[in-house]
Structure 1
């Protein structure tokens, strides 16, 4: 029975991973959420799902003890093993995302924002990976996945002149390198580490007008340099493609930063 643990599952891509993976009754799915009690949509799905093969576990990327407790809980249920860890949890939308690095009037506020993104999106991923590594090493599939973003690509940033959201972008670049570090260390053990860009996925909340305007702007900016860019996609489409990739990727690709179809995320969108 393959086992999967996914972080950041209260909504969006993470919740879609849980729904998709739990469709197979042979899977055991662990839905990790920062605040399990308040994850209404997740809890309702798990409670009503016919296969009863999904478990909600609290895990806060900003709290080391919470992460360690989550790994311990999962290990008790699985007998000390896990096949796939999907690090999806991330800080993304922020009230000052429109500011560029030189636009902060208060340098202390710049410090605060950058460190908050780094703590959640980099250290949170590292602490989660470290906590679950003993389970992964005992599993059969042995795969650690990081859901990242092309916003962490230097080439994409320069090509599209995407100067906003510096904290999110730089934290994703750092998490990509963390994946490479793990891959270099654990390749001989056969553990696959992979950074996957899920595409431009419609996960932003708000009114239809606000959401449409947000994604229209993103699409326009990307297509200015990548005319064949497909545009924003649904979480369901993104997760389906990502799972196809996760299941077929081998140790030869470990450490790579790829699009959801497996192509090089630094080379094309």
Structure 2
């Protein structure tokens, strides 16, 4: 009976993983959130769940002591999504357009702590359990916004702190793969696609996503555009099932293609 620990589960992809994984009664799912009180949809799902195989854990992946306190609950592999909500008013800025150097530094440090350091703390805590588990797979949800090649090829200069922090976690994933290859533990950074996880109306979501999609299509005409949470989750889980140690350390799309392209 596999066990799954999923972070960032109050909404979006994290919640999508919880819903899909818990549909199999053989699975035990631990849904990790920073605040239970702000995870109303998750709470309702768990209460209404038929299989009763999902457990909500309140913890912050930047709280090292907190992570250690609930470690005894888990075994298997962790899907780590540190994205949460982007600060869109800052995401629209280029690296030289912040109102002050202090604001730029604040943006960079915020995203680094959430998207790079947070997953590192979580992975470090889970390594002993990964060693004991049968699956031995650690999946980090990343994004092509963290790809230097995509940024250069598309001339996309926005999402500064977010993109830099995701590039950092991509490299961290490769470092873990190098360290634990001999132990058979697989580490993979996966970009789940442009997923419709933003709150708001269809019009509000499209207002943010469509300009990005158009810019990507100018360089990559085949780019599919925004997709649903369900489609992304199913594709990522299928990838997890088939990934092997030879691919450990890679940054890939949900279909297994090189993540340094679109």
What interval of TM-score do these two structures reach, taking the shorter chain for normalisation? over 0.9
Whole-Å separation in 2 of the counterparts to 1:28 and 1:108: 44
What is the count of residue pairs matched by the alignment?
261
Match of 2:249 in 1: 255
Structure 1 position 64, deviation (Å): 2.0
C-alpha separation between the residues in 2 aligned to 1:203 and 1:114?
Answer: 22
1:19 deviates by 0.3
Secondary structure class of the residue paired with 1:5: strand
Say if 2:16 is the partner of 1:16: yes
Distance 1:62 1:71 in 2: 14
CA distance in 2, matches of 1:70, 1:42: 19
Q: Which residue is equivalent to 1:67?
A: 67
Query: 2:173 aligns to what SS in structure 1?
Result: helix
Aligned equivalents of 2:19, 2:84: Cα separation in 1: 22
Match of 2:173 in 1: 179
CA distance in 2, matches of 1:104, 1:208: 29
C-alpha separation in 1, matches of 2:99 and 2:229: 37
Contact kept, 8 Å, 1:14 with 1:89, in 2: the verdict is no
Offset of 1:36 from its aligned partner? 1.9
8 A Cα contact 2:33 2:59, kept in partner: yes
Compute the displacement of 1:91 (Å).
4.3
Task: Tell me what 2:156 maps to.
Answer: 162
1:71 shift after superposition: 2.0
Post-superposition Cα deviations, 1:54-113, rounded to whole Å, max 9, x if no partner, equal 1101121232222222323x24xxxxxx22110113245113111111112311111111
Q: Distance in 2 between matches of 1:109 and 1:233?
A: 32
Q: RMSD over aligned Cα, in angstroms? A: 1.1
**For 1:23-172, what aligned pairs fall within 5 Å after superposition?**
23-72=23-72, 74-75=73-74, 82-94=75-87, 95-172=89-166
Q: Deviations over 1:223-256 (max 9, x none)?
A: 0000011111001000000000001101110000
TM-score (norm 1): 0.94
In the alignment, what sits opposite 1:188? 182
- How many angstroms apart in 1 are the aligned matches of 2:38 and 2:212? 30
Question: Alignment partner of 1:164: what SS?
Answer: coil
CA distance in 1, matches of 2:85, 2:205: 15
CA contact (8 A) 2:62 2:121 kept: no
SS in 2 for 1:96: helix
Q: How far apart, in 1, do the equivalents of 2:150 and 2:70 lie?
A: 35
TM-score (norm 2): 0.97
Alpha-carbon contact 1:148-1:195 (below 8 Å) kept:
yes
Whole-angstrom CA distance in 1 between matches of 2:197 and 2:206: 11
SS at match of 1:180: helix
Taking the aligned partners of 1:212 and 1:98, their CA distance within structure 2 comes to 15
Deviation larger for 30-39 or 49-58: 30-39
Comparing 108-117 with 178-187, greater Cα deviation is found at 108-117
The unaligned stretches of length 5 or more in structure 2 are none
